[in-house]
Structure 1
Amino acid sequence: MDNRNHLPLPAYTNELPKKAESRQGGGFKPLGNRNKVLYHQENINKATQIATSFAEVKEKFRGNINPNLIYRIKVNQSVDITNFSNILNAMGGLTILSVADNRKGYWVVFADDKELNVFKEKLAQYSGVVPNGHKYDFFNAIDGIEDIPLEEKIGESILEDPLTEGQTYHLNIELWRMEDEQIHKFIRELEENYRGNQSFRINDKLIMRSFVLLRVQMNKSIFDEIISLKEIARIERPMLPLFNISDHRQIDISEVEVIAPPDNATGILVVDSGIISNHPLLEKAVGDEQNFQSGEREGQDIVGHGTAVAGMSIYNDLETSIHERKFQPTNWLFSAKVMYGETDFYGNVTPIYDETKLLENQLNEAIRVFLDNPDNNIKVVNISFGNSYEIVGSRNTRQFPLANLIDELALEYRGVVFVVSTGNQKPVNFYELEDMIEQYPKFMVENPDFKIINPATAALALTVGSIAPAVRIANYRAEEEIWNPIAREAEPSPFSRVGFGINGMIKPELVNHGGNLILRKNFNRVVENVGGKMTILSNKITESLFGFDTGTSFSAPKISNIIGQIANNFPNASANFLKNLLLQSTSVTPVPNMRYTPSKNDKAKLQMTGYGMPNLDKAMYSQDNRIVLLDEGVIGINKIKVYTVNLPNSFFVTPGSKILSVVLTFDPPVRATRGDSYLGNQMEFKLFHTVNPDEVVSQYGVINYNGDETEDSTPPLLKPYEVVLKPGVNLRNKGCHQKAWRVFTRELKVPLQTPITLVLRNLNKWIPDPDHSQSYCISLVVEHAAIIDLYSTVRTEVQERVRTRQ
């Protein structure tokens, strides 16, 4: 599809006054159509099948392995786990090994009762086969029991490429997590059963709280034999090595093409440890570099951190450039050195700051020197450092001085976007490897030591966390090692600090790739595989052009680079505009199920990954089936604006999912002394469908607001027509970078129809000036999964309305 220019979001009214209102709060379910006699017969047959297959396994391994009985129960409703677990335990000593997602579906259980006699007896009483028996209504939640199918225990790679005779394989065997004594006993018996068989050997094992993994050497015959053991949850080939360090280490500058940025490209300022300005991959892009500390006279980067961050800020994806052997920076690079390196006796370099000079002063001076020069045309300032001793919420809820300084600078330089990394925390400092894997990613949310640090709490800056790239393992010896990637691709990096921010603001707002932790134990020591690290520019260019490291320090400049490219396309845009387009382009990234309540789980996802990972093309362009409508303006204190757009009928009637998304960015005054509300004013939005915009204006037209509004603000008569967005208004309106969306996969009770009306409200917190005007940018995205032309119709309608108002 062709790229299209974004469209204006037409205002329906000018400012209005506004109003407040209130928010509503809100045994085993019987299955009315169940034939209990038939249900009894079906599950008696299933129980007999399970017992028979178990007897066959016992006979096959008789004398060497004393197998355990494991099967699964299909649960048809969300049950209380503790209560259900107690009930199952009373039914023949059933122990839960695995709970289904959302508690509905297949639960895997371990049984002491090998014949399932207790299950059969209670089932007979529930079904009425035994007169005057107990009700046992927990059976209402159980559709049935069954053996776990063998094909579900075989990994995808083995199903796609089956094992063949005559070869020996190194495979991963995952066992169901029984009690420690049962696990150790089973492994001993498995080894004993194949003692002396050269085709079988357990090379490594990892016993966790929730799973057990073995690396086993075996042939096809043994695979076919042991797959029937109930204790085996899955057998799969291990991951293949996809990454070789020498591919990067051996690149010579003569092998690659290095091109300067376009002359009219905007600038990105990296405030860090300086750069190696004559680095072959940086020198053609350096606009200026200056030293703002006195620890090192030279501007060269001794620490190496600044050079690495700078490389990410102008290239974003070094891997692609390496693969293509072509390096073309997207933006001009500016470097402010505010830290220097101190080398210890062993040659280790530690970044430090001037002891006699405030870092805030250095930062203030550095940023002003660069931004006050209009020739630099800087649109982004990247800050990839922080104070790990100043953790949000650790002592008070007020803003930190350094973060407050960044916000004040953002208010002064309204055409510049400030980007700050969340900071990093090493989980190995708190958890053993087993606990880390077991508790990921819960520990990131539940451990207060993983909260974001100063200055990541800056409200007007975009705060960036890290997600893991595709898993790859370097220097991999399958027969000897079990490496444990803590995160899967696109999941939160286990070292990335999390929100929320000051006053509950959604922080981080964005994520990008910053690496992963791929770990294993080696003689009781946890070692890390370099495959989890990001490729970065090295400051030791006589040794290598590239190095490897992890951290939000590198995910943040990737975001800075995307903003820089957007700014190249919109060189005169405000920071509100640039941030709005960036946030509107994000996609939610996956987070493992933490088994919280849905509301708490949604909040935890926002704490770790914010609104997700942005997409450059979506930020810069609309498409036929995806339209970005936006408006920049100002709004008074305690006022409302209403926007409305008519959509073609094809949007509503064409099969396929539909998305409505709203982003609001604004730059309110801030005050660090106001712990109750760091932001001087609070803005929020609501979206409606079908209802006439005149009615929306009428309902919002008479409002008395006293500054204490915390309840749902939707007028009661508009409730049936509200497009309820996620995250909810009382969560997203804590900050000044807000996004909410709705995906429609089925019809609403009140069918979705045009027009779509957007209400914007500005609520005063502590601004004393009643005439204060707040600048903002608001956008609405209308998207359909089908390839249909929405753009042309909406453009015509919007242009006519804009001309009429002019």
Structure 2
Amino acid sequence: MYEHLSLPQIVGGLEKRKPRGGGGFSLPQGRVKKDYYKDVSDKAEQITRSYTELKEKYNGKVNPHLVYRISVNQSVDYNSFVKILHSMGGITVLSVAENKQGYWVVFSSDTELISFKDKLSQYSGIKDGRKYDFFNAIDSIDDIPIEEKIGTNLTLNPLKKEEVDYLDIELWRMDDEYIQTFIKELSNTYNDWNKFRICDRLITNSFALFRVKISYEVLAEIIELKEVARVDRPFIPTFKLSDYYGQDVEDLEISAPDEDSVGVLVIDSGITSNHPLLEKAVGDEENFQEVEKELQDKVGHGTAVAGVSLYGDIKQKMNDKSFLPSNWLFSAKVMYGQEDAQGNFSPVYDEERLFENQLNTAIRSFLDQDGYRIKIVNISFGNANESLKDKNNRQFPLAALLDELAYEYRDVAFVVSAGNSDPRNIYDELEEIIENYPNYLVENEYFRIINPATSALSITVGSIAQEFSILEQGERHKMDIYTAVAQHKEPSPFTRTGFGINGMLKPEVVHYGGNLILRKEFGRIIENVGGKLPLLSNSPTEKLFNFNYGTSFSAPMVTHVLGEIANKYPDKSANFLKNLLLQSTETVKIDGFNGSDSQKQTSLLKVQGYGLPNYERAISSFDNRVVLLDEGVIGLNKVQVYSFDCPSLFFETKGYKKISVALTFDPVTRMTRGDSYLGNRMQFKLYHTINPYIVAEKFAEYDFSDDMATLEELDDYEIKLTPGPNKRNSGCHQKGIREFKREPKALPNSPFTLVVINSNKWVTDENHMQNYCVSVMVEHTQDIKLYTEIRTAIKQRVRIR
């Protein structure tokens, strides 16, 4: 085991030439301009009429704003289109459609839409004037339908007449002054606290969210206001925990973490800090909800998650009878336990406060304490009613908040569980589950990842099945025939899957989270506990361990790995830690997916991302597996070029060979930018044989887009990596792999040249510098001395320079 090597940079900061201008706006097929004029002008009249009615209704109380949506039918240049809209009476863009096509939400200071209608009439030929062909890109304009403002939870459980309850109201993210004035006017208008009261608020760069207690009649009025983007019942953390039995503490060897170990923060239902397997590792714990004063974890979920974060595989520790925590544990309690008639506790949130605000306060409270040295934050809960759709997605406020926090605390890695769904909720028969697995994971929207697993800067974790085992139940287990839905390392039958916002690869990694082991009995589906993982119990005086399954526990498995990596590199950034994590992953080939080879590969990515990480592979290079990496900064629309020599024995020695590149960066984000949630995007290209300075020269001269940086003259030298750029470039955690399972006709040759490209999407600061970490791994199955030769070649190059 060796230290990783530095990846030599030969040319840095090359500027990309700006892309050439596009070809204007295409006229939609079949459009008759006079008919188009009538339709759009009628819609404009409806919008202004509804606005006027609202203004009259709230005369002297609330000054409403004219917010509506524009249907865009083609991909447009954001900056140019925004300028065009602004020229029509001050139309300001509030939200951009995903992929730029679809509904753009706008705010107009011209409440009569006079300028818009005037230019529309000139475009349509109704009035002499200019062509204004940007109208080619606009299908129509209209008010945002009220039903589209109602969130999933409120749709499933509508507010009843005479009911007063807590709801979350999100406003379109206008200027702070607009929002503050609007809220003040609203509070003055609805001043009966029994019917309307603002309990909590959180305004970030991306969103403005308010927790209110509101009556049915007030909601019916407020939701008509155009400033309101979404109304929903509050975020409900969803997970489940079943209690079983445990083991005697006297049989176990229990230690404290090493003094130099870094901290891991678990945001959950608290912990049982006097649990014998936790008490020696607890750094601090705090309560961030006001209903339950005790720090004690009454639900049990937080204790279970904390145990996995410290120990990883609890079963292995039980077998070894030895528990040495990897890290110091910090606990933020944001939920409390509510007891039902059977004495079981469910997680509940503080009704008066925004969950986003509690999370924001909790994370900042701990991360601002330098002495805690917290490097990983684990979040193992999600809102099952907020999942991604196939299109027209908008980032969720909770996930957007995590991204803003991750951007601010750049030395801390955030880990989030993908979420769970039970196939027994969509299939009545065991045979249906078996026959449709694993395809239902990628074909049924019920299994799409949930809020906040869509967070771009967090590592999202899915679940795979551990080795098969059946829980003995006397002699009966020998009689009953149980079926494991998943085999070892296959996707857990309940795990949620990607892709994420803008098609970014989510989840990025997977870890063991359990299985479903089932049988039929008298028409019912019976479950065996053997599919569940052993976890720490929150009632250690009764039993040390419980059993459960879910991505709630695969996520802290990854937190444990990252915690161990951070112990070795305590001063490194989150980009560095996440890069080593990605570089250590290995995918598992899964049979049973439908479709072509390409479709099967896509399904595999949606389910397991880049695969299962491994601590030893993350921190160490070996004789026949070498990792070279670099942490750097890069300007907008610039290129960095790296190059190193790989010894001939790598190419000439027969056997399986593998090359992989990993790139991690932490861009600024905006949930209002559906076209690109990330402010800038990065990508990489890997070349062989050709002189690296020729590659650098070509990239400095060539004019290319950020999405597909293709240079035909270099195409013969490019090492094509999987997944391809279309799938990996959307996110900020990227990895590409090339495997040589058989000896190809033409193997690549030295040197290897890596090009890293940073393309601006909407960052306004031209001097903005992007932090990143990039690594290259070369591996051979044969026992060859790659490491020594690559290290020697790098040293010689340095001496020559």
TM-score, normalised with respect to structure 2:
0.70
Distance in 1, Cα, partners of 2:247 & 2:344: 25
Distance in 2, Cα, partners of 1:633 & 1:479: 59
Report the counterpart of residue 467 of structure 2 in structure 1.
470
Deviation at 1:750, TM superposition (A): 3.8
Report the counterpart of residue 441 of structure 1 in structure 2.
438
Deviation at 1:453, TM superposition (A): 0.4
Q: SS in structure 1 opposite 2:535?
A: strand
**Gap runs ≥5 in structure 2:** 21-241
Q: SS in structure 1 opposite 2:378?
A: strand
Shifted more, 269-278 versus 425-434: the winner is 425-434
Report the counterpart of residue 92 of structure 1 in structure 2.
none
Letter of the 1:305 counterpart: H
Deviation at 1:392, TM superposition (A): 1.2
Q: SS in structure 2 opposite 1:367?
A: helix
Distance in 2, Cα, partners of 1:349 & 1:608: 31
Report the counterpart of residue 774 of structure 2 in structure 1.
778
Contact 2:534/2:546 (<8 A) preserved: yes
How far does the alpha carbon of each residue in 1:739-759 deviate from its partner, in whole angstroms, 9 at most, with x for none? 011011334454311001111
How far does the alpha carbon of each residue in 1:298-323 deviate from its partner, in whole angstroms, 9 at most, with x for none? 00000000000000000001111111
Q: SS in structure 2 opposite 1:296?
A: coil
Report the counterpart of residue 93 of structure 2 in structure 1.
none
Report the counterpart of residue 582 of structure 2 in structure 1.
583
Contact 1:721/1:750 (<8 A) preserved: no
How far does the alpha carbon of each residue in 1:363-422 deviate from its partner, in whole angstroms, 9 at most, with x for none? 111111111011100000000001111101278411110001101010111100000000
CA separation of 1:726/1:395 partners in 2, compared to 1, >3 Å: closer, same or farther? Answer: closer
Distance in 1, Cα, partners of 2:799 & 2:346: 60
Please say if 1:768 is aligned against 2:771. no
Letter of the 2:459 counterpart: L
Deviation at 1:480, TM superposition (A): 3.2
Contact 1:490/1:590 (<8 A) preserved: no
Distance in 1, Cα, partners of 2:335 & 2:590: 35
Matches within 5 A, 1:670-709: 670-704=669-703, 709=706
Deviation at 1:803, TM superposition (A): 5.5
Shifted more, 7-16 versus 664-673: the winner is 7-16
Contact 2:439/2:594 (<8 A) preserved: no
Contact 1:491/1:592 (<8 A) preserved: no
Distance in 2, Cα, partners of 1:362 & 1:351: 15
Report the counterpart of residue 557 of structure 1 in structure 2.
556
Matches within 5 A, 1:5-154: 5-18=3-16
Distance in 2, Cα, partners of 1:703 & 1:526: 61
Report the counterpart of residue 213 of structure 1 in structure 2.
none
Letter of the 2:443 counterpart: E
Report the counterpart of residue 456 of structure 1 in structure 2.
453
Please say if 1:788 is aligned against 2:787. no
Matches within 5 A, 1:232-251: 249=245, 251=247
Report the counterpart of residue 591 of structure 2 in structure 1.
592
Distance in 1, Cα, partners of 2:384 & 2:499: 16
**Gap runs ≥5 in structure 1:** 22-244
Shifted more, 342-351 versus 477-486: the winner is 477-486
Distance in 2, Cα, partners of 1:395 & 1:723: 32
CA separation of 1:428/1:10 partners in 2, compared to 1, >3 Å: closer, same or farther? Answer: same
Distance in 2, Cα, partners of 1:250 & 1:13: 59
Distance in 2, Cα, partners of 1:665 & 1:738: 6
Deviation at 1:596, TM superposition (A): 1.3
Deviation at 1:601, TM superposition (A): 0.9
Report the counterpart of residue 2 of structure 2 in structure 1.
4
Deviation at 1:324, TM superposition (A): 1.4
Contact 2:464/2:513 (<8 A) preserved: yes
Report the counterpart of residue 266 of structure 1 in structure 2.
262
Distance in 2, Cα, partners of 1:364 & 1:418: 13
Report the counterpart of residue 608 of structure 1 in structure 2.
607
Report the counterpart of residue 625 of structure 2 in structure 1.
626
Contact 1:16/1:701 (<8 A) preserved: yes
What percent of counterpart residues are identical?
A: 54
Report the counterpart of residue 332 of structure 2 in structure 1.
336
Contact 2:437/2:592 (<8 A) preserved: no
Distance in 2, Cα, partners of 1:627 & 1:493: 32
Q: SS in structure 2 opposite 1:13?
A: strand
Residue 733 (structure 1) aligned to one of 726, 729, 735: 729
Deviation at 1:250, TM superposition (A): 5.3
Report the counterpart of residue 372 of structure 2 in structure 1.
376
Distance in 1, Cα, partners of 2:352 & 2:487: 44
Distance in 2, Cα, partners of 1:771 & 1:747: 47
Write out the 4+ residue segments of structure 1 that deviate beyond 3 Å after TM superposition: 18-21, 476-480, 746-751, 800-805
Distance in 2, Cα, partners of 1:343 & 1:250: 23
Report the counterpart of residue 422 of structure 1 in structure 2.
418
Letter of the 1:452 counterpart: I
Number of aligned residues: 576
Please say if 1:311 is aligned against 2:307. yes
Please say if 1:254 is aligned against 2:253. no
Letter of the 1:437 counterpart: I
Deviation at 1:434, TM superposition (A): 1.5
Deviation at 1:591, TM superposition (A): 2.1
Distance in 1, Cα, partners of 2:516 & 2:589: 17
Deviation at 1:669, TM superposition (A): 0.6
Distance in 2, Cα, partners of 1:295 & 1:696: 62
Contact 2:688/2:718 (<8 A) preserved: yes
Report the counterpart of residue 405 of structure 1 in structure 2.
401
Deviation at 1:636, TM superposition (A): 1.0
Deviation at 1:763, TM superposition (A): 1.1
Contact 2:439/2:592 (<8 A) preserved: no
CA separation of 1:698/1:361 partners in 2, compared to 1, >3 Å: closer, same or farther? Answer: same
Distance in 1, Cα, partners of 2:321 & 2:646: 46
How far does the alpha carbon of each residue in 1:457-506 deviate from its partner, in whole angstroms, 9 at most, with x for none? 00000000000000111126466322110000000001000010001010
Q: SS in structure 1 opposite 2:9?
A: coil
Letter of the 1:636 counterpart: G
Report the counterpart of residue 232 of structure 1 in structure 2.
none
Contact 1:10/1:801 (<8 A) preserved: no
Distance in 2, Cα, partners of 1:335 & 1:589: 34
Distance in 2, Cα, partners of 1:623 & 1:599: 33
Matches within 5 A, 1:141-540: 249=245, 251-393=247-389, 396-432=392-428, 433-475=430-472, 477=476, 480-540=479-539
Deviation at 1:249, TM superposition (A): 3.8
Contact 1:503/1:678 (<8 A) preserved: yes
CA separation of 1:674/1:566 partners in 2, compared to 1, >3 Å: closer, same or farther? Answer: same
Shifted more, 468-477 versus 538-547: the winner is 468-477
Contact 1:404/1:672 (<8 A) preserved: yes
Contact 1:7/1:628 (<8 A) preserved: yes
How far does the alpha carbon of each residue in 1:637-659 deviate from its partner, in whole angstroms, 9 at most, with x for none? 11111111101111111111111
Letter of the 2:339 counterpart: T
Shifted more, 473-482 versus 264-273: the winner is 473-482
Distance in 2, Cα, partners of 1:396 & 1:343: 39
Letter of the 1:257 counterpart: E
Distance in 2, Cα, partners of 1:526 & 1:386: 26
Please say if 1:715 is aligned against 2:714. no
Letter of the 2:307 counterpart: G
Letter of the 2:570 counterpart: P
Contact 1:277/1:300 (<8 A) preserved: yes
Contact 1:274/1:338 (<8 A) preserved: yes
TM-score, normalised with respect to structure 1:
0.70
Q: SS in structure 2 opposite 1:269?
A: strand
Report the counterpart of residue 663 of structure 2 in structure 1.
664
Distance in 2, Cα, partners of 1:490 & 1:609: 10
Distance in 1, Cα, partners of 2:604 & 2:795: 39
Distance in 2, Cα, partners of 1:478 & 1:333: 39
Contact 2:388/2:500 (<8 A) preserved: yes
Letter of the 1:575 counterpart: A
Q: SS in structure 1 opposite 2:701?
A: coil
